Structure 1
Amino acid sequence: MSYGLREYLAVLTDYLPIALRETGRPCERLGWGARLMLMLVATPQFLYKKWRIGDCHFEIDALGLSRHSRSGPLVVPWSDVRELHRLGSAYLVGKDSGKMPLPYRCLGLGDRERFEGWAAAAGVLR
C-alpha cells in the first residue's frame, strides 16, 4: 500500500479538529489559513516518512495489526492500540508512540467490518 501527499493531508485535516477538541479547544473544521499552514509543515514531514518507510503491507487479525515496510516490521497487538478513529478516507490507529493511517481503499467491505469488530472488542473504536 502506498499513499500520496493528498491522502496524507486529508487524514491530518480530518484528525486535527478531533485532536483540538480532545484538548478542550472547540474546533469543527480547519479554516483556509490553518490548512495552508498544515500543508507547509506536513509536506516535508510526509516526504521524509515516505523516504524512511516506503510502501507498506498491512496484516490485520484478532491479535492486532502488523505493518511491513522499508523500516522493518511493526507489530501492534490490540492491547497496544489506544484509539481507532474513522476519518473521511482512512482509519487512524493511535498507539502510545504515535499514529498510523490505514486508508479505507486498502480494505474490502468485509475486511472493514471485521477490523471494526476487533477494534470495538478492544474498546478503542471512536
Structure 2
Amino acid sequence: MQTSEPPIASLSFHVSYRLGEYLKIVSSHVLAEVARRKIRQGKKISLLDILILRSCLFLFVPPIFLFKVLKVGSCGFHFDDAGIVRSSKQGELIVPWSEVVAVYQYPTGYLFVQADGAMPVPQRVLTDEQHALLKSYIVRHQLSVR
C-alpha cells in the first residue's frame, strides 16, 4: 500500500453462489486461458476446441460446484487497503493485495486469483457504487484486469 494516498472506504458484501453464474465465470476463464495459450503457439481456438471444453465443463463443474457449496457455503467479502477477507463455513481467508496474482473480469463477474486458488465475485451482488469502489482497489493496488 502506498502511504501517501488517502484511505478508500472499505467494501463489504455477501455472496450466495448460483450454479449458472459459477459455470459462466469458470467457462469464460477456461476458454480465455485456452485461447491465450493457442495464440502463444501461433494458433487460433477452433469451434471443436470450444465444443469439447464446454462439454467437459458442463459435465464436471456442477459436481465441483455442489462440493464447494457444501464445503464453503455462502461467503462474506470485505475489501480494504490491507487486502481481501472472505468469511465462509471454513472460517476467514485473508489475502493481502500482494498475494493477488491476477484479476480477471468477465461479463458475469470477477475472478481474484492467488497462487493456490481463486475467488469469484459475481457482478449481480455489487451495486454501481460498490463496483466503482472495487475498481478503485484494483487500480490502487496496481492489478491489471484481464
TM normalised by structure 1 equals: 0.89
Report SS of the residue matched to 2:101.
Answer: strand
- Aligned partner of 1:6: which letter? G
Report SS of the residue matched to 1:100.
Answer: strand
Tell me the residue number matched to 2:65: 46
CA contact (8 A) 1:54 1:69 kept: yes
CA contact (8 A) 2:110 2:122 kept: yes
Question: How far apart are the structure 1 equivalents of 2:99 and 2:120?
Answer: 16
CA offset digits 1:26-72 (Å, max 9, x no partner): 43886333212111111111111111001111111222111100011
Identity rate of aligned residues, in percent? 28
Equivalent residue runs for 1:35-74 within 5 Å: 35-74=54-93
Which of 16, 19, 22 is equivalent to 1:8? 22
Distance 1:86 1:18, change over 3 A: same
Question: How far apart are the structure 2 equivalents of 1:13 and 1:19?
Answer: 10
CA contact (8 A) 2:25 2:106 kept: yes
Distance 1:115 1:28, change over 3 A: farther
Residue segments in structure 1 that go unaligned for 5+ positions in a row: none
Question: How far apart are the structure 1 equivalents of 2:31 and 2:143?
Answer: 19
CA contact (8 A) 1:83 1:94 kept: yes
Residue segments in structure 2 that go unaligned for 5+ positions in a row: 1-14
Question: How far apart are the structure 1 equivalents of 2:68 and 2:45?
Answer: 27
Give the root-mean-square deviation of aligned CA atoms.
1.9
Which of 100, 103, 118 is equivalent to 2:119? 100
- Aligned partner of 2:45: which letter? C
Report SS of the residue matched to 1:31.
Answer: helix
CA contact (8 A) 2:81 2:137 kept: yes
Q: Based on CA coordinates, which of the two structures has the bigger radius of gyration? A: 2
Report SS of the residue matched to 2:45.
Answer: coil
